[in-house]
Homo-oligomer: A and B are copies of this chain.
């Protein structure tokens, strides 16, 4: 990222301007990150939830492909660089107070989850429960039965990004 790019974002000086103005003035948190919601452009399905730093946001805007910041690896993360599942940005949208980015993408190969599923969101949580039901461990229901790819074949022995 060159210094000139720092001019690309507006300053956050006024709530009304941030909420109703036309300048992109993203709010990065104390770690320099902004959360990103990525959905499938055609189906609306939620594919993943990740983070960008300033450089990743500018790179995503510039290239039209999703570039995140990997918190587990602490590197710029060009989605698909390893797996081939590049996310082409069809639309990028920012929220009212500009502390979240929404990417609507097309995914080459159709998978976005490192575990091998199409979406990272493949398990349903039961809701509308009684006190009795809430008195024991909840059981998740799988929404996707089959993996799109074999993560061992794609990622080999790369460290698993999931942290306990």
Q: How large is the interface on A (under 10, 10 to 19, 20 to 34, 35 or more residues)?
A: 35 or more
- B20 near A140 (CB under 8 angstroms)? no
Q: Kindly provide the distance from the CB of A25 to the nearest chain B CB, expressed in whole angstroms.
A: 9
Q: Kindly provide the distance from the CB of A118 to the nearest chain B CB, expressed in whole angstroms.
A: 12
Cβ of A53 within 8 Å of any chain B Cβ, yes or no, is no
- B124 near A96 (CB under 8 angstroms)? no
Q: Kindly provide the distance from the CB of A56 to the nearest chain B CB, expressed in whole angstroms.
A: 13
Q: Kindly provide the distance from the CB of A143 to the nearest chain B CB, expressed in whole angstroms.
A: 7
Cβ of A84 within 8 Å of any chain B Cβ, yes or no, is no
- Of B10, B62, B161, the residue contacting A97 (CB under 8 A) is B161
Chain B residues whose CB sits within 8 angstroms of the CB of A161 once the complex forms = 97
- Of B8, B43, B46, B124, the residue contacting A136 (CB under 8 A) is B8
Task: Indicate whether A10 sits within 8 Å of B137 (C-beta atoms), given known contacts A49-B35, A94-B125.
Answer: yes
Chain B residues whose CB sits within 8 angstroms of the CB of A125 once the complex forms = 24, 61, 92-94, 101
- A92 near B58 (CB under 8 angstroms)? no
- B134 near A120 (CB under 8 angstroms)? no
- A22 near B123 (CB under 8 angstroms)? yes
- B140 near A22 (CB under 8 angstroms)? yes
